[in-house]
Amino acid sequence: MPTFNSRMSHLLKFIFCVIVAGAFYTGVRPPETLTIGPEGAEIEITNNDNTKTRSWKTRKVKDGRDDIENGFRLEQHCIGVDEDGDEETSCTVESEIFSGSVRAGPNGINQKPAYEALKKLISGSTICGEAGAPFYAKCVAMDNAVVAVVQTLTTQEKHKRKNGARTLVKRLEELGYLRTGIDDAGDAWVWLSDE
């Protein structure tokens, strides 16, 4: 059975998302610290303009850890057009792996060109939200991703390139640069993890 503290922790996370999304929707910048509950638990919001990262963490928690930082970003989405022709927008609070600095791309001799080729391929895709990807994330079929990576493996023997490309895509996923999923039809899809 969940304890009061674990329920309160989930409630704090939910309240945080509602406040941040609501503040963004109304155009008001949310306060840096929100005090919640009779015991004065706080949610501290940090916005680092230099690294373009945001994070939140709980403070003054009676029971439990209060030093865990949670990264997030606000993703704006166009949901329609009003009668004046202006875009109507909303936003979602997306979880972000918080590292405190801007993440560099892969630097392996084969990983870097493969990642660049995949970024170019995925950015040109018109397909979004396949196989568990967020609805706004551009996706490409795994077979197309492998073909793009094969073209970067010019120093490998031809009969080893396709397997090498699959291995590179898997490694880029393990490193957190890509995400993959399988749809209901059994087809594999690839998208960028920062989408």
What integer pLDDT is reported at residue 120 of this predicted model? 93
Phi, psi of 178 (to 5 degrees): -125, 160
Q: How far is 156 from 168, CA to CA, in rounded Å?
A: 13
Phi, psi of 127 (to 5 degrees): -95, 130
Please give the CATH number for the structural domain made up of 111-192.
Answer: 1.10.10
Q: Which of 71, 190, 91 lies closest to 140 in space, CA to CA?
A: 190
In the chain, where are the structural domains located? 4-96, 111-192
What integer pLDDT is reported at residue 102 of this predicted model? 45
What integer pLDDT is reported at residue 73 of this predicted model? 72
What integer pLDDT is reported at residue 20 of this predicted model? 58
What integer pLDDT is reported at residue 119 of this predicted model? 92
Q: Could you tell me the pTM of the whole model?
A: 0.50
Q: How far is 38 from 26, CA to CA, in rounded Å?
A: 27
What integer pLDDT is reported at residue 101 of this predicted model? 43
Strand order in the sheet with 139-141: 139-141, 188-192, 178-182
Amino acid in position 30: P
What integer pLDDT is reported at residue 2 of this predicted model? 47
Give the torsion sign (CA, 155, 188, 120, 171). Answer: negative
Split the chain (195 residues) into runs of 10 and give each run's mean pLDDT. Answer: 51 60 52 58 68 68 63 77 85 64 70 92 90 86 95 90 92 88 91 76
Amino acid in position 72: F
